Protein backbone atom coordinates (compact mmCIF):
# COMPACT_ATOMS: atom_id res chain seq x y z
CA UNK A 1 0.00 0.00 0.00
CA UNK A 2 2.77 2.41 0.95
CA UNK A 3 4.56 1.54 -2.31
CA UNK A 4 1.44 2.46 -4.30
CA UNK A 5 1.12 5.72 -2.40
CA UNK A 6 4.78 6.50 -3.05
CA UNK A 7 4.35 5.89 -6.77
CA UNK A 8 1.23 8.06 -6.83
CA UNK A 9 3.05 10.79 -4.93
CA UNK A 10 6.00 10.69 -7.34
CA UNK A 11 3.69 10.91 -10.39
CA UNK A 12 1.83 13.81 -8.79
CA UNK A 13 5.07 15.58 -7.96
CA UNK A 14 6.31 15.10 -11.53
CA UNK A 15 3.16 16.66 -12.95
CA UNK A 16 3.44 19.62 -10.56
CA UNK A 17 7.12 20.10 -11.42
CA UNK A 18 6.44 19.87 -15.17
CA UNK A 19 3.68 22.43 -14.90
CA UNK A 20 5.91 24.70 -12.86
CA UNK A 21 8.75 24.33 -15.36
CA UNK A 22 6.45 25.09 -18.30
CA UNK A 23 5.04 28.11 -16.52
CA UNK A 24 8.52 29.37 -15.70
CA UNK A 25 9.65 28.83 -19.30
CA UNK A 26 6.70 30.74 -20.70
CA UNK A 27 7.19 33.52 -18.22
CA UNK A 28 10.91 33.59 -18.97
CA UNK A 29 10.25 33.78 -22.72
CA UNK A 30 7.73 36.58 -22.29
CA UNK A 31 10.10 38.37 -19.93
CA UNK A 32 12.93 38.00 -22.45
CA UNK A 33 10.81 39.47 -25.24
CA UNK A 34 9.74 42.35 -23.02
CA UNK A 35 13.36 43.00 -22.09
CA UNK A 36 14.43 43.12 -25.75
CA UNK A 37 11.57 45.44 -26.64
CA UNK A 38 12.41 47.68 -23.65
CA UNK A 39 16.08 47.85 -24.70
CA UNK A 40 15.05 48.81 -28.23
CA UNK A 41 12.75 51.54 -26.90
CA UNK A 42 15.47 52.88 -24.64
CA UNK A 43 18.10 52.81 -27.40
CA UNK A 44 15.90 54.55 -29.94
CA UNK A 45 14.11 56.70 -27.30
CA UNK A 46 10.74 55.47 -28.59
CA UNK A 47 8.18 54.22 -26.07
CA UNK A 48 4.50 54.37 -27.02
CA UNK A 49 3.95 57.03 -29.69
CA UNK A 50 0.42 58.40 -29.87
CA UNK A 51 0.42 61.74 -31.63
CA UNK A 52 1.09 62.14 -35.33
CA UNK A 53 4.44 63.80 -34.66
CA UNK A 54 5.50 61.01 -32.26
CA UNK A 55 4.49 58.34 -34.79
CA UNK A 56 6.50 60.00 -37.58
CA UNK A 57 9.49 60.34 -35.26
CA UNK A 58 9.26 56.65 -34.27
CA UNK A 59 9.07 55.57 -37.92
CA UNK A 60 12.12 57.63 -38.82
CA UNK A 61 14.17 56.22 -35.96
CA UNK A 62 13.42 52.61 -36.86
CA UNK A 63 14.02 53.35 -40.54
CA UNK A 64 17.45 54.63 -39.56
CA UNK A 65 18.09 51.37 -37.70
CA UNK A 66 17.11 49.34 -40.79
CA UNK A 67 19.39 51.52 -42.91
CA UNK A 68 22.27 50.85 -40.49
CA UNK A 69 21.74 47.08 -40.73
CA UNK A 70 21.50 47.25 -44.52
CA UNK A 71 24.75 49.24 -44.72
CA UNK A 72 26.52 46.75 -42.43
CA UNK A 73 25.40 43.79 -44.54
CA UNK A 74 26.47 45.55 -47.71
CA UNK A 75 29.92 46.09 -46.23
CA UNK A 76 30.21 42.42 -45.21
CA UNK A 77 29.43 41.41 -48.80
CA UNK A 78 32.14 43.75 -50.10
CA UNK A 79 34.67 42.30 -47.64
CA UNK A 80 33.92 38.76 -48.82
CA UNK A 81 34.48 39.91 -52.40
CA UNK A 82 37.76 41.62 -51.51
CA UNK A 83 38.98 38.52 -49.69
CA UNK A 84 38.00 36.35 -52.66
CA UNK A 85 40.00 38.57 -55.03
CA UNK A 86 43.04 38.31 -52.73
CA UNK A 87 42.81 34.51 -52.87
CA UNK A 88 42.29 34.66 -56.63
CA UNK A 89 45.43 36.76 -57.08
CA UNK A 90 47.33 34.14 -55.05
CA UNK A 91 45.84 31.38 -57.27
CA UNK A 92 44.15 29.84 -54.22
CA UNK A 93 41.04 29.03 -56.22
CA UNK A 94 39.30 26.87 -53.62
CA UNK A 95 39.37 29.61 -50.98
CA UNK A 96 38.45 32.23 -53.58
CA UNK A 97 35.46 30.12 -54.60
CA UNK A 98 34.19 29.90 -50.99
CA UNK A 99 34.36 33.66 -50.56
CA UNK A 100 32.73 34.48 -53.90
CA UNK A 101 29.89 32.17 -52.91
CA UNK A 102 29.63 33.94 -49.53
CA UNK A 103 29.53 37.31 -51.29
CA UNK A 104 26.65 36.05 -53.43
CA UNK A 105 24.57 35.64 -50.26
CA UNK A 106 24.67 39.44 -50.02
CA UNK A 107 24.67 40.28 -53.76
CA UNK A 108 22.68 37.50 -55.50
CA UNK A 109 22.11 39.60 -58.64
CA UNK A 110 25.73 40.54 -59.35
CA UNK A 111 26.82 39.09 -62.70
CA UNK A 112 30.53 39.60 -61.99
CA UNK A 113 30.38 37.51 -58.81
CA UNK A 114 28.76 34.68 -60.79
CA UNK A 115 31.43 35.02 -63.49
CA UNK A 116 34.30 34.76 -61.01
CA UNK A 117 32.58 31.87 -59.23
CA UNK A 118 32.58 30.08 -62.61
CA UNK A 119 36.26 30.84 -63.17
CA UNK A 120 37.24 29.42 -59.77
CA UNK A 121 35.07 26.34 -60.28
CA UNK A 122 36.75 25.73 -63.65
CA UNK A 123 40.18 25.78 -62.03
CA UNK A 124 39.00 23.50 -59.23
CA UNK A 125 37.65 21.03 -61.81
CA UNK A 126 41.15 20.78 -63.26
CA UNK A 127 42.56 20.17 -59.78
CA UNK A 128 39.95 17.55 -58.81
CA UNK A 129 42.03 14.45 -59.46
CA UNK A 130 41.09 10.95 -58.36
CA UNK A 131 43.66 10.91 -55.54
CA UNK A 132 42.14 7.82 -53.88
CA UNK A 133 41.96 5.91 -57.18
CA UNK A 134 38.25 5.21 -56.74
CA UNK A 135 37.48 5.51 -60.43
CA UNK A 136 34.98 8.30 -59.70
CA UNK A 137 34.97 11.66 -61.45
CA UNK A 138 32.08 13.04 -59.38
CA UNK A 139 34.04 15.92 -57.83
CA UNK A 140 35.46 16.97 -61.20
CA UNK A 141 32.03 16.80 -62.83
CA UNK A 142 30.37 18.75 -60.02
CA UNK A 143 32.87 21.59 -60.38
CA UNK A 144 32.24 21.68 -64.14
CA UNK A 145 28.49 21.87 -63.53
CA UNK A 146 29.02 24.68 -61.04
CA UNK A 147 31.17 26.56 -63.56
CA UNK A 148 28.56 26.10 -66.28
CA UNK A 149 25.64 27.23 -64.11
CA UNK A 150 27.64 30.22 -62.83
CA UNK A 151 28.52 31.46 -66.33
CA UNK A 152 24.93 30.93 -67.48
CA UNK A 153 23.62 32.88 -64.49
CA UNK A 154 26.04 35.74 -65.24
CA UNK A 155 24.76 35.80 -68.83
CA UNK A 156 21.13 35.74 -67.73
CA UNK A 157 21.88 38.94 -65.79
CA UNK A 158 24.02 40.47 -68.56
CA UNK A 159 23.71 38.75 -71.99
CA UNK A 160 26.60 40.84 -73.35
CA UNK A 161 29.06 39.95 -70.56
CA UNK A 162 32.08 39.37 -72.82
CA UNK A 163 34.19 37.44 -70.32
CA UNK A 164 31.32 35.10 -69.46
CA UNK A 165 30.59 34.52 -73.17
CA UNK A 166 34.23 33.61 -73.78
CA UNK A 167 34.56 31.47 -70.65
CA UNK A 168 31.48 29.36 -71.28
CA UNK A 169 32.71 28.85 -74.84
CA UNK A 170 36.04 27.59 -73.55
CA UNK A 171 34.28 25.40 -70.96
CA UNK A 172 32.03 23.77 -73.56
CA UNK A 173 34.82 23.23 -76.11
CA UNK A 174 37.82 22.15 -74.06
CA UNK A 175 36.32 20.76 -70.84
CA UNK A 176 32.86 19.43 -71.68
CA UNK A 177 33.22 18.80 -75.45
CA UNK A 178 29.75 20.22 -76.10
CA UNK A 179 30.74 21.97 -79.31
CA UNK A 180 27.23 22.78 -80.50
CA UNK A 181 26.47 24.57 -77.22
CA UNK A 182 29.62 26.70 -77.43
CA UNK A 183 28.97 28.06 -80.93
CA UNK A 184 26.11 30.55 -80.27
CA UNK A 185 27.89 32.10 -77.28
CA UNK A 186 31.14 32.60 -79.19
CA UNK A 187 29.32 33.93 -82.25
CA UNK A 188 27.56 36.45 -80.01
CA UNK A 189 30.90 37.46 -78.49
CA UNK A 190 32.39 38.09 -81.94
CA UNK A 191 29.48 40.38 -82.76
CA UNK A 192 30.53 42.45 -79.75
CA UNK A 193 34.32 42.11 -80.08
CA UNK A 194 34.84 41.66 -83.80
CA UNK A 195 38.64 41.38 -83.64
CA UNK A 196 38.95 39.02 -80.67
CA UNK A 197 41.25 36.38 -82.16
CA UNK A 198 41.25 34.30 -78.97
CA UNK A 199 37.49 33.90 -79.30
CA UNK A 200 37.97 33.11 -83.01
CA UNK A 201 40.37 30.30 -82.12
CA UNK A 202 37.91 28.71 -79.72
CA UNK A 203 35.04 29.12 -82.19
CA UNK A 204 37.08 27.52 -84.99
CA UNK A 205 37.75 24.56 -82.67
CA UNK A 206 34.01 24.38 -81.89
CA UNK A 207 33.16 24.34 -85.62
CA UNK A 208 35.73 21.60 -86.16
CA UNK A 209 34.41 19.52 -83.25
CA UNK A 210 30.90 19.98 -84.63
CA UNK A 211 32.15 18.86 -88.08
CA UNK A 212 31.38 22.26 -89.64
CA UNK A 213 34.64 22.11 -91.57
CA UNK A 214 33.95 24.95 -94.00
CA UNK A 215 33.13 27.31 -91.13
CA UNK A 216 36.26 26.21 -89.28
CA UNK A 217 38.44 26.95 -92.33
CA UNK A 218 36.72 30.32 -92.76
CA UNK A 219 37.36 31.21 -89.13
CA UNK A 220 41.05 30.32 -89.37
CA UNK A 221 41.28 32.50 -92.49
CA UNK A 222 39.69 35.32 -90.51
CA UNK A 223 42.29 34.89 -87.76
CA UNK A 224 45.12 34.95 -90.29
CA UNK A 225 43.75 38.17 -91.81
CA UNK A 226 43.17 39.84 -88.43
CA UNK A 227 46.07 38.99 -86.14
CA UNK A 228 49.37 40.84 -86.07
CA UNK A 229 51.01 38.15 -83.96
CA UNK A 230 53.17 35.81 -86.00
CA UNK A 231 52.78 32.96 -83.51
CA UNK A 232 48.99 33.12 -83.65
CA UNK A 233 49.02 33.32 -87.43
CA UNK A 234 51.22 30.22 -87.64
CA UNK A 235 48.93 28.39 -85.19
CA UNK A 236 45.90 29.27 -87.32
CA UNK A 237 47.69 28.09 -90.49
CA UNK A 238 48.64 24.78 -88.84
CA UNK A 239 45.10 24.21 -87.56
CA UNK A 240 43.63 25.11 -90.95
CA UNK A 241 45.85 22.47 -92.55
CA UNK A 242 44.55 19.84 -90.09
CA UNK A 243 40.94 20.74 -90.89
CA UNK A 244 41.62 20.64 -94.65
CA UNK A 245 43.19 17.18 -94.36
CA UNK A 246 40.29 15.94 -92.23
CA UNK A 247 37.60 17.36 -94.50
CA UNK A 248 39.06 17.11 -97.96
CA UNK A 249 42.11 14.89 -97.69
CA UNK A 250 44.38 17.82 -98.63
57 against 40, higher pLDDT: 57
Task: List all residues 6 or more positions away from 121 whose beta carbon is below 8 Å from its beta carbon.
Answer: 97, 143, 144, 146, 147, 150
Q: Angle CA(180)–CA(139)–CA(112) in degrees, nearest 5?
A: 60
126 against 14, higher pLDDT: 126
In this predicted structure, what is the pLDDT of residue 74? Answer: 87
In this predicted structure, what is the pLDDT of residue 67? Answer: 80
The pLDDT-based confidence of 49 (bands split at 50, 70, 90) is: low
Measured CA to CA in angstroms, residue 6 lies from 10, 11, 19 at distances of 6, 9, 20
The pLDDT-based confidence of 113 (bands split at 50, 70, 90) is: very high
47 closest CA partner among 39, 65, 63: 39
Give percent of the chain with pLDDT exceeding 70. Answer: 78
Least confident window among 20-24, 32-36, 200-204, 238-242: 20-24
In this predicted structure, what is the pLDDT of residue 2? Answer: 42
The pLDDT-based confidence of 14 (bands split at 50, 70, 90) is: very low
In this predicted structure, what is the pLDDT of residue 224? Answer: 98
190 pLDDT exceeds 90?
Answer: yes
Based on its alpha-carbon atoms, the radius of gyration of the chain, rounded to whole angstroms, reads 32
The pLDDT-based confidence of 250 (bands split at 50, 70, 90) is: low
Q: Give the mean model confidence (pLDDT) for residues 154-164.
A: 98
Q: Give the mean model confidence (pLDDT) for residues 220-245.
A: 97
15 pLDDT exceeds 50?
Answer: no
Q: Are 80 and 103 in contact (CB under 8 A)?
A: yes
Q: What's the CA gap between 10 and 3, in Å, rounded?
A: 11
182 pLDDT exceeds 80?
Answer: yes
Average pLDDT of the chain is: 85
Q: Give the mean model confidence (pLDDT) for residues 213-228.
A: 98
Q: Give the mean model confidence (pLDDT) for residues 91-107.
A: 97
171 pLDDT exceeds 50?
Answer: yes
The pLDDT-based confidence of 63 (bands split at 50, 70, 90) is: confident
Amino acid sequence: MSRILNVGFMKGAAVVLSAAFLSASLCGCAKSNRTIQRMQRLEENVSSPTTEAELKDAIKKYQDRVADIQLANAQVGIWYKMLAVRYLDAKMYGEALKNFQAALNYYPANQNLFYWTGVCASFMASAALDFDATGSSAEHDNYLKLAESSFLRALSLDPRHAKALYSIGVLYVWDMHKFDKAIPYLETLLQIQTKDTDAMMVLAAAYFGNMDYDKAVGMYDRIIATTKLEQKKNEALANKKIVMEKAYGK
